[in-house]
Structure 1
Amino acid sequence: MGLFRTFYSNSFHGMNLIFTPISDDSILPNEIITDILLMLPTKSLLKCMCVSKSWHQLISSPHFVKTHLKLNRNNHSVLFSDINGKFKFCSINYLFNKQQQVTQELLHMDPPTLLAFVVGSVNGLICLCNRAGQMFIWNPTISKSKELLNSKCGTSIYIKYGFGYDELHDDYKAIYVDYSYHNDNDDVSKTRNVVNVYSLRADSWTTVDDQLHGIYLVNHYGKFVNGKVYWVASTGLHSLKLNNIISFDVADETWGSLELPICREVDSIFKLGVVGSDLSLLYACHDLTCDVWILKDCGVWTKLFTINYPRNAGLYMLAPPIFTFSMHLQRSEIGDILLSLPGYIMIFDGSTKKFEHTPDVKGPNPPEIYAESIVNPLMISGSGS
């Protein structure tokens, strides 16, 4: 095995690693080598895996992967899909800089399938589904993907999706809910639902009928927060009159419900989403203001703040609740706010909560904010070596 000394800058992100041979009498203890490697960003770790077989085994080990993930949760990128069904990405920090041409920073990325949409992401893994009903779990950072064999996805327009992490069993699960009519008629009272759950670790699907009898999920893609996937629910298959919030516990595969924080006003529309790592609701009104609510750990809804959005963004802010949102709070003294909606991103001043600028990145699907990681879906499913 070759022995190397690693030189790195004080700023870990974006560093260039240089490996040079070292003598036997200057070998570092394994504990120190592990601690150094854990401090490196994901892209640098990929280079380190090529140094030696022992380093590859260390960095690929489940314990190292989990520890590195916990230490690097704030290293986020944003994934965009263009009109050609291809993907591009950039660091989330570029989007906050209004002086920077973001389009110049967008990098091309080859997905495992074209014309796919993002179901959700967690721990650097992104769940994709294409128009043919194929589903994939993909880590774009390490270019590894796993196709979900025997996918249960159909062609119904009333399909709802979800993706989450089962921390109890260290497993990733995709959820697919299909509403269909009995006897191919349009009698809503005779609809039934089929809930399909895929386990990455077992590499298999389970199916349960009518677990949501009389409950109709509204948003196409559930939002994963703290072990559960959430949807807003209505009183009918074609209704957008929201009733409550429905959750799916990824670990024990049970369903639950939450009340909405307040009764919405007549002229307001709200969307389900996440703010950082908290479940959130966005109440948008026609007076160009929007209230941001988050669900605390104790299960209590709290109004976080109110933002002022521009008139030309009303089309996106007042869109139906079938769409969700993501909000990222920049970790800096300024504390600017990034709001991601389907096909649109807005940046707000952290202190005044007023609109600042819109990055010049748009696409047909919602941008996906994800944390870079070295989690390999093939290793979890037993398909990798």
Structure 2
Amino acid sequence: MLPTEELNGENQISYEASDQHPKRSRPTKLFLPPEVIAEIISRLPVKSLLKFRSVSKSWLALISSPEFVKSHMSLSFNKNINDRVMEESNLDYLMKNSGMSFLIEGSVNGLLCLVNEVDKIFLWNPAIRKYKKLRNFRYQFRNASHFIYDFGYYKIHNDYKVVRTFTIFGRQGNFQQVNMYSLKNDSWQIIESPWNCNMGQLISSSKFVNGKLHWATIVGSGLERVWGITYFDLADEKWRKVERPCGDGFLVLGVLGTNLSMICNNPTNHMDVWSMKEYEDKQSWMKMFTINYSILHPMECLLYQSFYMSKKGEFLLMFKTAYMIYHLKDNSIRYSQLRKLNYGVLADFYIQSLVCPLSQNEPRT
């Protein structure tokens, strides 16, 4: 019915269709307007769109436009494309031959934040094979240690932010400084430390929810140590607290669906999994389930790890050298060892996108 297909110079597709009537052999051209074309191809995977950029200049401009990139990313998220697993060997891993170990410190909108052994930071989109090495930040202190890196997105300004926290341990007390990088401005700045706001010490990396970076925090020491949840708002750059539903045990933060979630670990070999259904509403914290487990050193295993939930009702809890899968249907638990890797890795959700970490005036690596 549609024997031929053409592309004209106005970003339209034309088809020659025939009604196959013996007395009517003259084909009729049907045109698809640009907005219909954009609507159709925005539902395609990144791999196909990268090929379609070569169709014409108009298609290249369309697929490369910020509006199309945002539309495609939104549709990809809603279709749960992040459920697809990509093997490491398919990622064109840009650090393979560097001879250094790297950690994945965050994943937002198809961009991964990577940090290597010498604290070099990269923003990388493996789907489009583009990456950016962030400019260095000059430290005010030579003995800076205990670095924590976090990655988020400020939607209103369409800006990706890297937050780096380092702690200095000294005889006269500990000191903490926080730096923030803006991809849009390609610059670093010093921001207020959570310690100065009496928010406590940040533990492990953050979880990005609702435009904010969230950390498990500790206030005090010894028997007087209190766990809490602190967040940094990328919009107004202020530190605030999130009220937690339970008071005992240390915390591990995660994201279930799109909700801020947490594990409250108890000393009696069980953990409660909570999820906040309405953001910043303490009454909306809901206990999802309780897991009984037997681990010799749960504090060491859980403190710096994360958890995830699959559509099949499997709860995945990451340890340092292994992971645990809890099946909600029958309350069974299965443990598996992580295969040895020659680089560091932390699990995170990943959605393929066309987002490029480079600005228009930067060379396309």
Cα deviation for residue 126 of structure 1 reads 0.9
Separation in 1 of the partners of 2:30 and 2:119? 55
- Post-superposition Cα deviations, 1:165-196, rounded to whole Å, max 9, x if no partner, equal 00111100000122225xxx3232xx332221
Separation in 1 of the partners of 2:264 and 2:202? 16
Larger Rg: 2
- 2:146 is the alignment partner of 1:158: yes
- Post-superposition Cα deviations, 1:208-267, rounded to whole Å, max 9, x if no partner, equal 355532544342311111111011111258999343211101122111112332111xxx
Identity in percent: 31
Q: Is the 8 A contact 1:272 1:282 kept in 2?
A: yes
Q: Is the 8 A contact 2:307 2:317 kept in 1?
A: yes
- Count residues with an aligned counterpart: 333
Cα deviation for residue 57 of structure 1 reads 1.2
- Post-superposition Cα deviations, 1:65-87, rounded to whole Å, max 9, x if no partner, equal 1111111111116xxxxxxxxxx
- 2:47 is the alignment partner of 1:47: no
Separation in 1 of the partners of 2:7 and 2:223? 63
Q: Is the 8 A contact 1:127 1:138 kept in 2?
A: yes
The match for 1:64 among 44, 64, 68 is: 68
Aligned equivalent of 1:83: none
- 2:241 is the alignment partner of 1:257: yes
The match for 2:111 among 125, 132, 138 is: 125
Separation in 2 of the partners of 1:128 and 1:257? 27
Separation in 1 of the partners of 2:225 and 2:268? 21
- Post-superposition Cα deviations, 1:314-340, rounded to whole Å, max 9, x if no partner, equal 26854366413131332xxx4444444
Separation in 2 of the partners of 1:246 and 1:126? 23
Aligned equivalent of 1:295: 276
- 2:358 is the alignment partner of 1:378: yes
Separation in 2 of the partners of 1:238 and 1:129? 32
The SS at the match of 2:32 is coil
- 2:254 is the alignment partner of 1:281: no
Q: Supply the AA of the counterpart residue of 2:242.
A: L
Aligned equivalent of 2:156: 168
Q: Against the structure 1 CA distance between its residues 269 and 194, is the aligned structure 2 distance closer, same or farther, given a 3 Å change threshold?
A: closer
Return 5+ residue gaps in structure 1 as ranges. Answer: 6-19, 78-90, 95-102
Q: Against the structure 1 CA distance between its residues 239 and 70, is the aligned structure 2 distance closer, same or farther, given a 3 Å change threshold?
A: farther
Q: Against the structure 1 CA distance between its residues 338 and 280, is the aligned structure 2 distance closer, same or farther, given a 3 Å change threshold?
A: same
The SS at the match of 2:204 is coil
Aligned equivalent of 1:76: 82
Paired residues for 1:16-27 under 5 Å: 25-27=29-31
Query: What TM-score do the two structures reach when normalised by structure 2?
Result: 0.78
- 2:304 is the alignment partner of 1:323: yes
Q: Is the 8 A contact 1:308 1:354 kept in 2?
A: no
Q: Against the structure 1 CA distance between its residues 304 and 70, is the aligned structure 2 distance closer, same or farther, given a 3 Å change threshold?
A: farther
Query: What TM-score do the two structures reach when normalised by structure 1?
Result: 0.75
Q: Supply the AA of the counterpart residue of 1:231.
A: W
Q: Supply the AA of the counterpart residue of 2:159.
A: D
The SS at the match of 1:68 is helix
- 2:329 is the alignment partner of 1:344: no
Q: Supply the AA of the counterpart residue of 1:192.
A: F
Q: Supply the AA of the counterpart residue of 1:76.
A: N
The SS at the match of 2:203 is coil
Return 5+ residue gaps in structure 2 as ranges. Answer: 17-27
Cα deviation for residue 119 of structure 1 reads 1.5
Separation in 2 of the partners of 1:57 and 1:263? 54
- 2:172 is the alignment partner of 1:193: no
Aligned equivalent of 1:226: 210
Root-mean-square deviation (CA, aligned residues, Å) is: 3.4
Q: Is the 8 A contact 1:269 1:321 kept in 2?
A: no
Larger displacement relative to structure 2 (357-366 or 52-61):
357-366
Separation in 2 of the partners of 1:111 and 1:66? 25
Separation in 2 of the partners of 1:253 and 1:36? 38
Aligned equivalent of 1:146: 132
Separation in 1 of the partners of 2:214 and 2:328? 27
